[in-house]
Chains A and B, each alone.
Chain A
Amino acid sequence: MKPIKTKQEYNIYNLGNRILTSYRFIDITLLCLLTIICIFGLFILYSASNQNLHMVEQQSVRFILGIMIMFALAQVPPDKLRTWAIWLFILAVFSLLVVLVLGHIGKGAKRWLNLGFFRLQPSELMLVALPMVLAWYFENKILPPKAIYLILASIMILIPAALIAKQPDLGTAVLLVVTGSSVILLAGLRWRVVMSLVGLFIASAPLIWHYMRNYQKARVLTFLNPESDPLGRGYHIIQSKIAIGSGGLLGKGWLHGTQSHLQFLPEHATDFIFSVCSEEFGFIGCLLLILLYFLIILRAFYIAYHAQNTFTRLLAGSLGLMFFFSFFINIGMVTGLLPVVGLPLPLISYGGSSIVTFFASFGIIMSIHTHRKLVSH
């Protein structure tokens, strides 16, 4: 005689089955790489925060929250993401406007909305929403796209970027523009066009310079060369370079950095955390960290390579590139290669909203990979 399942038993069985099947939608490779980088990040943070366990705990909570969001998003089929794209984008633009208006009323820069239990930072929402909406937008266009579509796409990039720049959050605005542009690039913008645009910009720079007012010129110069303002941001760069350079090949050892702990107190756990890492772990440590980042990008690109339709391809590719841009800009700025714009080092800098953004984007990438067999060609 077969045992008769009660209704309740059946439900429990079903639930268990669901949890099991949900693992099918996780990309183990990415998960492992991300976990390694997060643990590494916690160690650096412990040192950078002058051994503040409370900060490490808070950061761990954010990681766990981020991973949960990543798991959840990995379960959402890309078709569903496609239908969300435009609404998510509209929501993001709307909340950016709300933040800007509230900031005006409150007479101060404001970047987030208080939703009671959670502080929503609309610029971070936009970082995910923009690649989605652009991928959705280009999906049914014949590729390479016509000029008119490119112009419309540029508008879709520049409006939110302008709103974010106005907050003012220049770093995120720059990241948004390069990420958005990467979607257009992946969509098949001809290299010729890319090159001529770059050429046009370089050629027109002297002309723009000529028409700028003196104070604007001065501002651009300090922006490009922070060392001309050594009482402000230039100070950080000078100290950051000393910290990195004194790290040498093997570093001074964990918790044994001297420069970074003493000098730039305000930002060495956030935007300038990479200099702590380089001082304490040396060139080898940096090499390993950058290798980890590169492996994550390679995995994202691998997923993009095998994606089955235009929407998922563009989305996975651009999200991978967004990750690349953010760590490249941060390290470039800390080492004095790029101007200081204020972007965190992904998954390592202390702070909540960017961590959630990156885990959400990896959730989407995972979903694209794990649902690829189920997606119509």
Chain B
Amino acid sequence: MPISTIHNKKLERNQYRSRLLTLTLIVLFFILVLLARLFYLQISEHHRYVTLSKQNQIAVIPIAPARGLIFDRNGILLAKNKPVFSLDIIPYKVKHLKKTLAALKKIVPLSRDEVAEFYKTLRQKRAFDPVPLKYNLSQTEMAEFAVNQWRFPGVMINAHLLRYYPYNGEFAHVLGYMGRIDAKELAQLSQSNYSATNYIGKTGIEKYYEKLLHGQVGYQQVEIDAAGHIVRVLKRKPPVSGANLYLTIDSKLEQVAEKALGNNRGAVVAIQPNTGQILAMVSSPTYNPNLFVSGISSKAYQALKNSPNKPLYNRAIRGLFAIGSTIKPFISLEALAEHVITPQTTIFDPGYFIYAHHIYHDWRKGGHGYVNVTKAIIVSCDTFFYRLAVHLGINNIDKVLAAFGFGQPTGVDLNDELPGVLPSPSWKMHHIGHPWYTGDTINTDVGQGFFLATPLQIANAVATLATHGIRHQPTLLMQLQYPHGIMQIQQSKAYPQINFPQADWRIVINAMQKVITSKEGTGFRFGRNTPYTVAAKTGTAQVYTATYRYQDQDLPENLRDNSLFIAFAPINHPRIAIAVIDEHSELAPVVARKVIDYYLLTEKHWSKANETH
């Protein structure tokens, strides 16, 4: 080995050793820092910390933010917060939970559901967080407990704000309801922001805008004595309330629609065509959301869930219906634009149409005689459209239906909206396993067969028709009001305009007007004379197609037809577009008339001021 290397090794070793010694000193220094810190905490400040630990404890109490309120477009309160008193338990202070609950039962009645719910919540909370046992204590219950409170360390009465829906079921499908946070939801939430919150939006607006409505948690750092009483507040950060929501819903209009539907199963959706704002969204029958807030009993819940009328299910966005003859204006537009027919094209309708050895019947025995497109819409001639289907082909039909928004979610601000079904040859192959027949095209062309849409989609398509092809994303939120007073106005998204010649729009809309005004028009139930101009189309969806979807429903009523009605008014400056579906009754036009009358006539004086033209 050369001498220089050896020398270097020695040099290196010495250098390393001096470095190690320096590091030892540094380590010693840091250890002394730790000891100094411990000395400070345990010797110098010992007295202070002993006081804190012995008599007083510091507790951080989260303060729940007040949930945002929900108003309709005119400022009518639809969802508010109501103060209630609850019986809470702080788990770590209770030695024998089972015994305590048993003893409590003798003073305050506890249902099995309440106890089960309590144990569920208990698992999600920290030992020092209060866990609610019973909500909505009555005056008597509070008094009874107050007398016996000394027997129950760790059990206390607390005030909470609970959601309350003053109109009960009337807006349930739009607003949704609140319920206790479950474990799955908890995993996705910010733990500290929800540390004082027991409730969360489960459906509807309450769920969709949960983030906006909830707000920001606050806290109080307090000293508490051994009994859990607050001695003094050390620090306080107030919570920030959630935003108040102003919906596009016109609550009066919605009530009119709801009343008009009565106890029938069905749905009404009304949209402002220029903006896409939803004025009314009714699904009937409905349920009382207040039942859910304070914890619905499992019996009541099962009753709602198993009811044949399915009150829990929002037909407006989840009900899938064959749209029947209300499809005809849309098909006519496509046929005119594609020059498959001209406005003058006339056929003779004998009352049936034969294709490939199969007879397709018109709804009217004996037929309508000579029919062009205008008359075909007015009298709702099926034969004309059977024949049109063969010439038009399924691809053209799908194209126009997709342009009007069918077969895709509308993007409304609610969860769980269904996209409907826009059948195509590949769709059929995939879902049914059979090739597409021209017969399927013929069925689709009169709104039967596989084609299914939600009432919201239908209403939005009508709004698009009213504006000559400008489709908006329908929306329920109009304004936000934050605690510091700032209002934000939401603009709903518009799709590119559907490009049909103006003349074609006019032909179809004129024909729709005559559905009401003409003597032979099918819209007679709506009433021939209206003080405003209105374009409409009736529809009846046959039951055969419906049965494979609603197999679980009771059969006799199901054998009747669904009645559909679409309309917009006034024709030149449309202010309302509406779709009504009345399951198994013929009342859809009557309902639509009441709604439009109310909106255009009764409310005229002030609803105009609220509109953006």
Contact = CB atoms under 8 A, between A and B. Distances in A.
Nearest to B28: A294
A243 B24 contact: no
A247 B42 contact: yes
Contacts of B35: 286-287, 290
Given A305-B17, A328-B34, A249 B42 contact: yes
A182 B13 CA distance: 17
Contacts of A243: 53
Contacts of A305: 17, 20
Interface string B15-28: 11101100110011
Interface stretch (B54-62, B295-303, B493-501): B54-62
Interface string A144-174: 1000000000000000000000000000000
B96 interface: no
Given A230-B221, A231-B192, A286-B38, A248 B16 contact: no
Interface of B: 8-9, 12-13, 15-17, 19-20, 23-24, 27-28, 30-31, 33-35, 37-39, 41-43, 45-46, 48-50, 52-54, 57-58, 60, 62, 92, 126-128, 191-192, 195, 217, 219, 221, 235
B128 A263 contact: yes
Contacts of A258: 53
A258 to B, nearest CB: 6
B52 A283 contact: no
A241 interface: yes
B43 A283 contact: yes
A262 interface: yes
Interface stretch (A3-11, A35-43, A116-124, A330-338): A330-338
A245 B8 contact: no
Nearest to B8: A142
Contact of B34 (A246, A265, A298, A335): A335
A246 B127 CA distance: 22
A223 interface: no
Contact of B192 (A232, A238, A241, A242): A232
A235 B61 CA distance: 11
Contacts, number: 132
Contacts of A283: 38-39, 42-43
B354 to A, nearest CB: 58
11 contacts: A143-B16, A186-B16, A231-B60, A231-B192, A238-B60, A242-B52, A246-B46, A248-B50, A298-B24, A321-B23, A328-B30
Given A244-B38, A246-B49, A283-B43, A231 B12 contact: no
B53 A259 contact: yes
Contacts of B16: 143, 186, 188, 310, 313, 317
Interface in A297-331: 297-298, 301, 304-305, 310, 313, 317, 321, 324, 328, 331
Interface string A1-44: 00000000000000000000000000000000000000000000
A278 B235 CA distance: 27
Question: Which residue, A243, A249, A286, has most C-beta atoms of chain B within 10 A?
Answer: A286
B19 A186 contact: yes
Interface in A240-275: 241-249, 258-259, 262-263, 265
A282 interface: yes
A290 B20 contact: no
B48 A245 contact: yes
Question: Which residue, B16, B43, B58, B127, has most C-beta atoms of chain A within 10 A?
Answer: B16
A219 interface: no
A231 to B, nearest CB: 4
Nearest to A261: B92
Given A230-B219, A294-B28, 17 more contacts: A185-B23, A230-B221, A241-B41, A241-B49, A242-B57, A245-B48, A245-B50, A247-B46, A248-B50, A249-B42, A283-B39, A283-B43, A286-B38, A304-B20, A313-B16, A324-B30, A377-B9
Nearest to A314: B16
Contacts of A336: 37
A337 B603 CA distance: 67
Contacts of A182: 23
A229 B24 CA distance: 37
Interface residues of A: mostly helix, strand, loop or mixed? helix
B49 A242 contact: yes
B20 A188 contact: no
Contacts of B42: 244-245, 247-249, 278, 282-283, 286
B39 A246 contact: no
Nearest to A144: B15
Contact of A246 (B9, B13, B31, B52): B52
A146 to B, nearest CB: 15
B217 A186 contact: no
Contacts of A239: 58
Question: Which residue, B49, B50, B126, has most C-beta atoms of chain A within 10 A?
Answer: B49
A213 B52 CA distance: 38
Contacts of A230: 60, 219, 221, 235
Contact of B19 (A185, A229, A331): A185
A265 B126 contact: yes
By Cβ-Cβ distance, the 9 closest A-B pairs, closest first, are A245-B49, A246-B53, A231-B192, A283-B42, A245-B41, A230-B60, A246-B49, A248-B46, A246-B50
Nearest to A262: B92
Nearest to A317: B20
A24 B103 CA distance: 67
A258 B19 CA distance: 45
Nearest to B53: A246
Contacts of B58: 238-239, 242
B19 to A, nearest CB: 6
Question: Which residue, B38, B39, B127, B128, has most C-beta atoms of chain A within 10 A?
Answer: B38
B65 to A, nearest CB: 13
Contacts of B15: 143-144, 188
A337 B49 contact: no
A107 to B, nearest CB: 11
Contacts of B23: 182, 185-186, 301, 317, 321
Contact of B43 (A248, A324, A377): A248
B222 to A, nearest CB: 11
A304 B49 CA distance: 42
Contact of B217 (A231, A246, A282): A231
B563 to A, nearest CB: 47
Contacts of B46: 245-249
B49 A235 contact: no
Contacts of A143: 12, 15-16
Contacts of B60: 230-231, 235, 238
Given A143-B15, A230-B219, A248-B50, A297 B38 contact: no
A77 B30 CA distance: 33
Contacts of B12: 143, 188, 310
A130 to B, nearest CB: 18
A246 B50 CA distance: 4
Nearest to B16: A313
Contacts of A259: 53
A305 B219 CA distance: 54
A239 B41 CA distance: 13
A287 B31 CA distance: 10
Contacts of B48: 245
Contacts of A328: 30-31, 34
